[in-house]
Amino acid sequence: MRYFLLAPLLLAAVVSVAQLSAQPNSNSQSSTPGHRDSDTCLICKRCPTSLEDSQSSAACLLCQACSAQVENQQVDQPTTPVTTTKVVAKDEAPREWRTYSGALDLHFESGAVFNGPTLAVCDISSFECSDSGKTHIAGKLGATYWMTPTLGLSLDTVLMDGGSIAGISENSVGAYLGLQLQKPNGAVRPYLEFAPGYIHSFTTGNSGAVQFNPDLASVKAGGGIRFVVRRNWGIKLGVNALPSFSGLGHQTPVIVTAGWFWQSKGKSHGE
| Residue 138 covered by a domain | yes
**Residues 53 and 170 grouped into a single domain:** no
> Taking a C-beta distance cutoff of 8 angstroms, is the pair 13, 58 a contact?
no
Residue 199, phi then psi, degrees to nearest 5: -125, 130
| Residue 125 covered by a domain | yes
Distances (CA, A) of 258 to 6, 65, 165: 108, 89, 28
Most confident of 39-48, 121-130, 225-234: 225-234
Does the pLDDT of residue 207 top 60, yes or no? no
> How many helices (H) and strands (E) in the chain?
2, 12
Residue that is last in its domain, among 12, 44, 65? 65
d(CA 195, CA 180): 9
DSSP string, 38-86: SS--EEEEEPP--GGGTTGGGG-EEEEEPPTTPPPPP-SPPPPPP---P
Model confidence at 188, pLDDT cuts 50, 70, 90, reads very high
Count Cβ neighbours within 10 Å for each residue of 223-261 and write b for 16 or more, e otherwise: bbbbebeeeeebebebebebebeeeeeebebbbbbebeb
Tell me: the pLDDT tens digits for 126-144? 777 777 788 899 999 999 9
**Residues 55 and 117 grouped into a single domain:** no
Higher pLDDT: 270 or 185? It is 185
Question: The domain spanning residue 198 has which CATH number?
Answer: 2.40.160.20
Closest by CA position to 201, among listed 228, 232, 170, 167: 170
Distances (CA, A) of 33 to 14, 41, 72: 22, 10, 10
Tell me the one-letter amino acid at 149: P
> Taking a C-beta distance cutoff of 8 angstroms, is the pair 32, 44 a contact?
no
**Residues 141 and 228 grouped into a single domain:** yes
Structural domain span for residue 230: 96-263
d(CA 128, CA 125): 8
| Residue 268 covered by a domain | no
| Residue 77 covered by a domain | no
**Residues 34 and 158 grouped into a single domain:** no
> Taking a C-beta distance cutoff of 8 angstroms, is the pair 191, 226 a contact?
yes
Closest by CA position to 42, among listed 25, 58, 27: 27
The confidence score (pLDDT) of residue 6 equals 53
> Taking a C-beta distance cutoff of 8 angstroms, is the pair 259, 108 a contact?
yes
d(CA 70, CA 33): 10
- What is the Cα 271 distance to its own chain's centre? 15
Burial of 5 (0-12, 13-18, 19+ CB in 10 A): exposed
**Residues 33 and 149 grouped into a single domain:** no
Does the pLDDT of residue 255 top 80, yes or no? yes
Domain count, the chain: 2
Does the pLDDT of residue 261 top 70, yes or no? yes
| Residue 89 covered by a domain | no
| Residue 38 covered by a domain | yes
**Residues 202 and 141 grouped into a single domain:** yes
**Residues 35 and 112 grouped into a single domain:** no
**Residues 175 and 43 grouped into a single domain:** no
**Residues 112 and 32 grouped into a single domain:** no
| Residue 71 covered by a domain | no
| Residue 198 covered by a domain | yes
Tell me: the pLDDT tens digits for 149-177? 999 999 999 999 888 887 788 889 999 99
**Residues 45 and 132 grouped into a single domain:** no
**Residues 102 and 211 grouped into a single domain:** yes
Residue 120, phi then psi, degrees to nearest 5: -125, 135
> Taking a C-beta distance cutoff of 8 angstroms, is the pair 119, 170 a contact?
yes
**Residues 40 and 112 grouped into a single domain:** no
Mean pLDDT in residue range 216-243: 92
